[in-house]
Amino acid sequence: MIGAGSVRRREQLREFLRARRERISPGEVGLPEGGRRRTPGLRREEVAMLAGVGVSWYTWLEQGRDISVSGDVLDAVAGVLRMNESERAHLYLLAGLNPPPANGSGTEVTAEIRALLDGWERGPAVVRDRYWNILAFNTLAGRIFGCDDGEPHNCLVTFFTSPRYRGLPEIWAAAAPGVVAAYRADAALAPHDDEFDRVAKELVASSPEFAQLWDRHEVGVPAQAVNALLHPEAGELFFDATTLTVADNPNWSVVLYNPRPGTATHARLSTLPHLHLTESA
C-alpha cells in the first residue's frame, strides 16, 4: 500500500517537472520555435529526446509513476530543463534519491562568515564542511583547539587523536559513541561520496577505539553533549556548542562554543594572554 507521503511526493514531482518544462522555450535548447504549441515551453517528447531517454519513460516520470530512476538520468533531465543546483537537489528528493554533493556558493569562506567568527568573543567559533574539516576559525578556537598550527584539522580525527580531548578520559569515553554515530549519519546522507569513507578508513588505521565504534554501524543525530578538553595552559575546559547551517552553502556549518555555566571555563580562558572575552548572556 502506497503511503500518503509517497503519493504527495509524486504529486509534487509531477507539478515540479511540468513547471520547469514549461518555463524553457524551444529556442533555449536549440529547437525551432515555429509550429503550433498548445502549451508553453517544451513538450515532453522534446525533453525526452534531449535527455536521451524514452518518451514513455519521461512521461511516466512526470506523471509521478513508481518507476526506477538513476542519478545519471535525473542529471540529464535537470540539464535539459536548466535546473540550478537547488532545483536539481529537489528533483532528486522528489524522485526518491539522495541528492549528490552540492558545490555550494564557492570554496572560500566569505568575509561575512569570517566576521561572524571573529565577532564571537564568548568562546571558540569554527566553520566546518560536511566531512568535519575545519575551514575557518576565530582566535579562541585556534588557541583552544590547537588549529592555529597551520595544519589541516578534522573535528572527528582531532577528537580521537588529540591529547587535549583524550586528557579527560571518562568524559571522552562517554561522548565517543555519539560522535561516531553522528559522523556516520552525516555520511549516510551522501552514500556515493567517497570522502567520508576516506576519512573513516584513515582513522580506523590510526585509532583502535574509532575502529571498534565504527564497526558497530550505529547512527544518530549529534547529541547536545558537553565539549570537554584539557588545555595545556588553561586546564579543564567545558563548552556548550550550537551548530548552524550556512544558508548559501548547506554543506558547511558554523559551530559556536559557549563556556558551560557552572564551570570555571570562562575564568580559565581569561588567564590565556592576548585574549579578550565577553561574558555569556
Question: What would the mean pLDDT of 87-94 be, rounded to a whole number?
Answer: 89
- Domains defined for the chain, CATH in brackets: 4-94 (1.10.260.40), 111-269 (3.30.450.180)
Average pLDDT, the chain: 87
Question: What would the mean pLDDT of 14-40 be, rounded to a whole number?
Answer: 82
Is residue 280 pLDDT above 60, yes or no? no
> What is the C-alpha separation between 46 and 24, in angstroms, rounded?
11
| Model pLDDT, residue 191 | 77
pLDDT tens digit sequence for 47-57? 999 999 999 99
Give this prediction's pTM. 0.70
Q: pLDDT above 70 covers what percent of the chain?
A: 89
pLDDT tens digit sequence for 206-227? 999 999 999 999 998 766 667 9
Cell of 180: 561516531
- DSSP H helices, the chain, are 4-22, 44-51, 55-63, 71-80, 85-94, 111-119, 139-145, 155-161, 163-166, 169-188, 194-206, 208-214, 265-269
Contacts 24+ apart (CB under 8 A), 134-139: 135/109, 135/252, 136/109, 139/275
Is residue 281 pLDDT above 50, yes or no? no
pLDDT tens digit sequence for 103-146? 554 568 899 999 999 999 899 999 999 999 999 999 999 999 99
